[in-house]
Structure 1
Amino acid sequence: MSSGILFELDNHVARVTLDRPKALNSIDPEMDSALFEAWTEINSNPDIWVAVLGATGEKAFCAGANVSGGTEGDGRRMALGGGLTGVGGPMLTLRKPLVAAVQGYAIGGGFELAMCADIIVAADNAQFGIPETKVGIIGEAGIMHRAIRQLPHHIAMALILTGERIDAQQAERYGLVNEVVPLEKLLETATSWAERIASASPLAVQAAKDAVLSRAGWPLDVALATRYEPIEAYANSADRLEGRAAFAEKRAAQWTGR
């Protein structure tokens, strides 16, 4: 991987860590390219079943971005956050579940990157904000569209219109984060979430994520009538047979992701 992030793989869990603490882990072009490489590896490696996104230092998860629409090595444009946010370029869809471990400031593009996760664990010092209107900078409004979908309407509008922040406890109360823990427990708790996800059938988990998110904005009747290719493919997988056998034999399943 390029510099700007750390990348580790441990027992089917990929750890992606933003590593520019002196810059409050703000996203520069080098980090953007490194994140693109990380998400691409996670998507393509069948031995990776879940990812954890964290950051070094105590002050900030990510304080935003000083890049808009970076480029991957061959010159193609990508969206902010290595393609994950859909801001400034084509969106990269992460097929594996993503757990975000957020501490300190998660503002602007950093807040948006956190909202791309499926599970968010926040340290008790976390703060989430959309500062665009406060500083008089309005560009591509991806963060606002995500906030209005992930927060109660009036809470999201207050954040958008005032540029003020909410703390971790408020974020939990509004359903933005799954759990708030002391800073020293952040990585441990995020890892626990990842391990719980990884204990389930990885192909079933990926198929479920695809089905839910691909039809999240559609009417229920459309979602129910849709045929989902990953779910259909799972029917012929070794893991489906293993799940049935493990249930019949009253033992823990031994998943292979195949």
Structure 2
Amino acid sequence: MADIDFRIEGHVAHVRLNRPQGLNAITQEMDDLLLDAWTEVNANSDIWAVVLSAEGEKAFCIGADVSGGAERKTRMALGGGLTGIGGPLVTCKKPMVAAVQGFCVGGGFELAMCADIIVAADTAQFGLPETKVGIIGECGVVHRAMRQLPYHIALQLILTGERIKADEARHYGLVNEVVPFAELEEAALRWASKLNAASPLAVQAAKAAALGRLGHPLEVALMTRFEPIEEYAATEDKKEGERAAGERRKPVWTGK
């Protein structure tokens, strides 16, 4: 099997890091395969949600594979462009669930934070070990940590290199749910089903709007016109939602 397993089941794309012998550290080949996966996810209208997971119990991902040297051969950002570290940022337009277990550190932590929902096994540990081992480079991961964790907790991780366990991460709002490792896949699929119970086009428009003005003042966000939301008004799913409400039934979405 390839080091990245990509498959589509129903309306869910499954992207799985498949290099457990290397603690799922991301190689250049894996970056290429991940970019292919995100490109397909964004282009395929039959894909409504994504589950990002990893093989093995020891680690979700420990970041970039540096066994061949720290220098990367291309300017592609880590994670197939998803993180924005070291190259142009690729945005996944569909809602994403990350299923995390074991070590989730460095660039692997960054990759998990790119997801919209994080489900963690009770074995998960999140951390930024860079300063502890005397390495600090392009800092996408620290900027995400500062935005997704309380100020002092984020700086604790950044400055000490210490890790926090899954229950702590749940307490600080970093993850949505903590489950036993044996139930991780089931939990991730349950979250994907929750996402797909909503109108896929409405979800995509809402995600684009929410993230598109995240770094702006509230008054700027409130005055912004969001094209995906305006375009949604003319879709079949918008009409189906109205029909279903009038007929008091669950809507049947088509993603059109």
TM range (shorter): over 0.9
Report if aligned partners of 1:148, 1:156 keep a CA contact under 8 Å in 2.
Answer: yes
CA distance, structure 1, for counterparts of residue 20 and residue 250 of structure 2: 41
CA distance, structure 1, for counterparts of residue 4 and residue 107 of structure 2: 16
Task: Give unmatched runs, 5+ long, in structure 2.
Answer: none
CA-CA distance at 1:252 after TM superposition: 1.3
* Corresponding position of 2:33: 34
Within 5 A, what are the aligned runs for 1:129-168?
A: 129-168=127-166
CA distance, structure 2, for counterparts of residue 216 and residue 63 of structure 1: 27
* Corresponding position of 1:240: 238
Question: Which string of whole-angstrom CA distances, capped at 9 and with x for unpartnered residues, describes residues 111-131 of structure 1?
Answer: 000000000000000000000
CA distance, structure 2, for counterparts of residue 158 and residue 251 of structure 1: 49
Is 1:4 the counterpart of 2:3? The answer is yes
CA-CA distance at 1:3 after TM superposition: 2.6
**Are residues 249 and 145 of structure 1, via their aligned partners in 2, closer, same or farther at CA, if it must alter by over 3 Å?**
same
Q: Which amino acid aligns with 1:190?
A: A
Report if aligned partners of 1:69, 1:79 keep a CA contact under 8 Å in 2.
Answer: no
Q: Which amino acid aligns with 1:227?
A: R
Is 1:22 the counterpart of 2:47? The answer is no
**TM-score with structure 1 setting the length:** 0.96
CA distance, structure 2, for counterparts of residue 244 and residue 32 of structure 1: 42
Report if aligned partners of 1:202, 1:255 keep a CA contact under 8 Å in 2.
Answer: yes
CA distance, structure 1, for counterparts of residue 73 and residue 42 of structure 2: 20
Report if aligned partners of 1:112, 1:143 keep a CA contact under 8 Å in 2.
Answer: yes
CA distance, structure 2, for counterparts of residue 108 and residue 28 of structure 1: 14
Supply the RMSD in Å over aligned alpha carbons: 1.1
CA distance, structure 2, for counterparts of residue 192 and residue 69 of structure 1: 36
Task: Give the number of aligned pairs.
Answer: 252
Within 5 A, what are the aligned runs for 1:27-106?
A: 27-66=26-65, 71=74, 77-106=75-104
Task: Give unmatched runs, 5+ long, in structure 1.
Answer: 72-76
- Tell me which of 202, 213, 216 is aligned to 2:214: 216
Within 5 A, what are the aligned runs for 1:111-190?
A: 111-190=109-188
CA-CA distance at 1:183 after TM superposition: 0.3
* Corresponding position of 2:196: 198
Identity %: 64
CA-CA distance at 1:66 after TM superposition: 2.1
CA distance, structure 2, for counterparts of residue 202 and residue 78 of structure 1: 29
**TM-score with structure 2 setting the length:** 0.96
CA-CA distance at 1:11 after TM superposition: 1.2
CA-CA distance at 1:69 after TM superposition: 5.3
CA distance, structure 2, for counterparts of residue 3 and residue 34 of structure 1: 9
CA distance, structure 1, for counterparts of residue 82 and residue 53 of structure 2: 15
CA distance, structure 1, for counterparts of residue 240 and residue 101 of structure 2: 39
Question: Which string of whole-angstrom CA distances, capped at 9 and with x for unpartnered residues, describes residues 167-194 of structure 1?
Answer: 0010001110000000000010010000
Q: Which amino acid aligns with 2:52?
A: L
